[in-house]
Amino acid sequence: MVIAAFNEAKVICEVISGVVAAGWPVVVVDDGSRDDTAEQARIPGADVVRHGINLGQGAALQTGIDYALRRGAKHIVTFDADGQHAIEDVPALIEALGDADIALGSRFLGKQIEGASSSRRVLLRTATLVSNGLSGMKLTDAHCGLRAFRAEAAPALRITKDRMAHASELLRKIKTSGLRVVEVPVTVRYTEHSMSKGQGGMQAVRILFDYFFHS
Amino acid sequence: MIIRVLLLIGLAAIGWFVFLRRNRLPLHIVTVFALLAVAAVAVVSPDLTQRAAELVGVGRGTDLVLYLSVVSMSFILIHYYSKFVELQRKLTDMTREVAILRAELERVAPPRPEAP
């Protein structure tokens, strides 16, 4: 289980506790946080990898994936640090890897989005449309942070977009590598905290810029 | 004319700056000074750029200079942009390497308490 965290000291301990209680080995990548995210993540017993400087979510996830692979992980699950995902959804993702290489969580495939405003739904739908256009795939949700993939698929899915454009990059790589992909319905719980960390409309423009121009 | 004096002082300043940092290959220095010399000649006798412009089919000498500088500036921009991207990739790789090594080291040898 890979969790990328940036300035999440307030909630990380609780989130990791839930993951550890469910029995998943977990690595937290502290992406150069200015608060005590790393210490808070160690309390429930996570392995913590610390970036000396802030590089972005894409870079942090890839660092966590590298670490997990070096520890011999067979499956990689990415999970958001802000507590928006439900740990109960993880077994379904792993199960879906039985006949797929990568399983993507989808917020629009039946289950609930708790606490999302209608403007947020529109933004997410738009992001999905743009992302499908860029990647040439037909998915119901492009940018859910909850995903699982087999260790063998990791080299083909290597993230080079350091910041937020990694989600679109991932889809493009799935498409070009011909990996088998499935979508699994997941629950997302938007809290005040996760909303404050979420991506708004202006950031969406920045993400598009990153996708085309940045490493 | 005042503008000629100002431009020549600017070119001389660039020359002096390059001369002070002359740890590069002699070829670089020679190239820079050659360019500066061409610029100085253009400042002193603008008719030369005018004639060059007419030769290649541009109306005015100043326009020719402008076009050339826009193109070369764009080259320089692209050059440094790709260097920047490359540097960022290296920085990410290094930071990742250090982070993972440190985490693995802490697993075998837990960190000592910090010195007072």
Range with the lowest mean pLDDT among A198-207, B26-35, B62-71? Answer: A198-207
| Structure-block tokens of residue B100 | 């993972």
pLDDT over 90 at A193, yes or no = no
Mean pLDDT of A134-153: 79
pLDDT at A202: 65
pLDDT at A192: 66
Query: Does the beta carbon of A98 lie under 8 angstroms from any beta carbon of chain B?
Result: no
Whether the complex's predicted ipTM is more than 0.90 is answered with no
Q: For residues B16 and B31, is the Cβ–Cβ distance under 8 A? A: no
**Buried residues in A37-63 as b, exposed as e (16+ CB within 10 A):** bbebbbebebbbbbbeebbbbbbbbbb
What value does the mean pLDDT of chain A take?
81
CA nearest to A67 within chain B = B100
Query: Does the beta carbon of B100 lie under 8 angstroms from any beta carbon of chain A?
Result: yes
Question: Cα(B75)–Cα(B92) distance, rounded to whole angstroms?
Answer: 26
pLDDT at B69: 93
CA nearest to B91 within chain A = A55
Question: Cα(A41)–Cα(A5) distance, rounded to whole angstroms?
Answer: 9
pLDDT at B99: 94
Question: Cα(A106)–Cα(B71) distance, rounded to whole angstroms?
Answer: 48
Cβ–Cβ gap A59/B99 under 8 Å: no
Cβ–Cβ gap B100/A63 under 8 Å: yes
Distance from CA of B107 to the nearest CA of A (A): 9
pLDDT at A164: 76
Residues 6+ away with beta carbon under 8 Å from A12: A5, A28, A37, A40, A41, A81
Helices (H), A43-149: 57-70, 90-96, 118-135
Cβ–Cβ gap B95/A59 under 8 Å: yes
Cβ–Cβ gap A63/B89 under 8 Å: no
